[in-house]
Amino acid sequence: METKGTINIDGMNIPIENEKNILEVIRKAEIELPTFCYHSHLSTYGACRLCVCDIEGMGIQATCTIAPRDGMVVKTNTEEVRKIRKINLELLLASHDISCPSCARSNNCKLQDLTRRLGVEKVRFKKNEKLEPVDNQSWSIIHDPNKCVLCGDCVRVCKEIQSVGAIDFVNRGSKTCVAPAFLKSLKDVECVYCGQCVSVCPVGALIPKPETEDVWKAIHDPDKYVVAQIAPAVRVAMGEGFDMEVGTNTTGQLVAAMKKMGFDQVYDTSFSADLTIFEEATEFINRKLKGERLPQFTSCCPAWVKFSEQYYPELLPNLSTCKSPQQMFGSVAREILPKLLGIRPDQLVIVSVMPCTAKKFEAKREEFIHNGIPEVDHVLSTEGLGRMIHETGIQFKKLTPESFDLPLGFKTGAGVIFGNTGGVSEAVLRFAYEKLTGETLLDYDFKMVRGTDGIRRAELELGNVKLKLAVAHGLANARQLCEDVKEGKSDLDIIEVMSCPGGCIAGGGQPVSFDKDFREKRTQALYNVDKQLQLHKSQENPYVKELYQMTLGEVNGEKAHELLHTHYHGRKRIVDQQITIRNTEQPKIEVCICVGTNCFLKGSQHLLKQMMDYVTENKLEDIVGFEGQDEMVDVKATFCFERCDRGPIARVNDKIIEHATFESVREALDEEVRRVGKKLSKTT
């Protein structure tokens, strides 16, 4: 690494080696300056003013905002610097809702930690007593503005890493807050529920929505049989909540703890990850050999799926139709466990333990609820299960490890590495190699898809088939690949997308870590688990093979599609918004035309004008034979019917018209006028 001079920090000469600011050089000197708003992978903001130091010739400055230069002299701990830091921290405390004993972040809060570190014993500023409403309407994330310290971390990660921008600074001056546009709930805006805002929030302003009480209620109900599935990434993060080293594999302790808590069976989502590979890799091979709907995007990440539904509905046919491993597990468990366990179907309660906040939203999607019964009843985050274990008093570190229950607890290494970015692609390659070459794969590591680059590309030959693939983590990187596909610039065959940087190991439901290498440590831990298992390819899982023989039939067959596949749809971004073009006093018929982007590009604005002209210039009473019928029709522009791939979309009262034309909408309107007109004529 090239040295570009030195900085004198508290009397020590520290070399400058491509650090982008003074703060990073100071940390290299083993001095941990306090900061709320600095993350090396985000843009520099300099809001909290806690990393201030005395820089010779410049005075007191925030070190995160100043590039290092040779010859600088920096003092990190003068009397004036200490006073300024304490004042800034007191100001934050004065505007913060200090409910520490009941706060979800009480044992892992930067504000608490810095208050102790800096020796703040009292707050000399007037407390802000006005409390704002807490947004707990989404299934995934709770937003409490009263705990926000305005560090801007959540705003920047949402914009810069995810390219979503669902939240931002609102208002000015003392009224400034972080919120969605127009102070709406997170459930009503473009939030994809990835939870990266939760991961970077230094306090408890953003937390995963808990479902712990619902799970306790099920466990305590003697008529319920409660089973759980544990995602791969959970096992390498749970230990952090019990003072264990980052990346410690706690599989055995997790199973033992959950059995003690009252779960009747504990299974492994890695089993259904193996199952996913059977379906998704076969689907991909079929598409590749036929040259249809390529590139195929993976569909395991629910935040990515919602992102594509919102921003790229035209690419939805390219997504794999496979459900995620969480939902595959739920579907299979509902199908086989009642008979296997000797219980009634209505007794079975399925709980997921996931590293992901978006999984909570996924479990509540209408596609995964059948006859009022969800495939997965409750989703606990890693952090949520940790709180439950703490509540019981179980000594997690001292537990004798136990093993997963069979058959849904058996897995191969391919299923385990799903938790890492590149893991799905590698598992697919381990499967596809043997299918396409007819040879046994001995060297099962495909390291070209591993790594931390935001977008990674690889080319390889499997027999006579040449494959080009890409792996993206972080939705801003996924957006780049989507744009290439839209513009016809992509020659890729398969694209893996994970919303969270690093993959599920850094999901929004994982314990918040301040270890700068936490992603790398968790990632390596999953690869270590793969190495320690006897089987490394999904097609080697004997219990998945048995599931096909006994229940599913052929891979990608009719029964497999019924239980393991789904569909996706365009998703509106503006909720309950309509523009009335023609308003009557007592409308009996409502004509709505979508003017959202996709429908607009397909001619919906012209269609809207045509329908308006038809209603106002034609004598609709001629259709039913008496006057006044044109006055009973309202014409409105709306923003979405969530069917962007089938636009333009129109609605005449309750009838939805896809690929709408003037003729089809006029015909539907005339029919509705006749129907309503006949009713009116009978009453007059």
Catalytic residue flag (residue 75): no
Catalytic residue selected from 19, 211, 280, 335: 280
CA-wise closest residue to 45 among 154, 176, 208: 154
Name the CA radius of gyration of the chain, rounded.
28
Residue 23 has, within 13 A of its CA and on its CB side, a CA count of 23
Cα 452 from chain centre? 19
Catalytic residue selected from 356, 504, 592, 644: 504
Q: How far apart are CA 340 and CA 547, in angstroms?
A: 12
- DSSP structure class, residue 319: B
Q: How far apart are CA 523 and CA 247, in angstroms?
A: 8
CA-wise closest residue to 570 among 608, 606, 604, 597: 597
Catalytic residue selected from 147, 359, 521, 588: 359
Catalytic residue selected from 19, 283, 383, 540: 283
**Is residue 170 within 8 Å of 153, Cβ to Cβ?**
no
Q: Which two tokens stand for residue 100?
A: 């520490």
Peptide bond into 401 cis (omega under 30): no
Residue 280 has, within 13 A of its CA and on its CB side, a CA count of 34
Measure the N-to-C terminal CA separation of the chain; round to a whole number of Å: 89
Catalytic residue flag (residue 190): no
Catalytic residue selected from 148, 194, 201, 300: 300
Catalytic residue flag (residue 300): yes
Contacts 24+ apart (CB under 8 A), 24-32: 24/68, 25/68, 26/53, 26/63, 26/74, 26/76, 31/76
CA-wise closest residue to 27 among 12, 41, 42, 48: 12
Catalytic residue flag (residue 32): no
Catalytic residue selected from 299, 320, 381, 499: 320
Catalytic residue selected from 279, 309, 362, 383: 362
Q: How far apart are CA 300 and CA 324, in angstroms?
A: 4
Catalytic residue flag (residue 201): no
Residue 240 CB neighbours (<10 A): 25
Name the residue with tokens 């298992």. Answer: 533
Catalytic residue selected from 80, 213, 367, 658: 367
Q: How far apart are CA 127 and CA 112, in angstroms?
A: 17
Side chain identity at 593, as an amino acid letter? I
Residue 569 CB neighbours (<10 A): 14
User: What 3 state SS string does 546-608 have?
Assistant: HHHHHHHCCCCCHHHHHHHECCCCCCCCCCCCEEEEECCCCCCEEEEEECCHHHHHCCHHHHH
Q: How far apart are CA 145 and CA 128, in angstroms?
A: 12
Catalytic residue flag (residue 504): yes
Catalytic residue flag (residue 320): yes
Give φ, ψ of 59 to 5 degrees.
85, -155
Residue 515 CB neighbours (<10 A): 13
Catalytic residue flag (residue 367): yes
Q: Which two tokens stand for residue 596?
A: 């959202």
Q: How far apart are CA 524 and CA 436, in angstroms?
A: 29
Name the residue with tokens 């030959």. Answer: 461
Q: How far apart are CA 495 and CA 483, in angstroms?
A: 13
- Residues marked active site are found at 280, 283, 300, 320, 359, 362, 367, 504
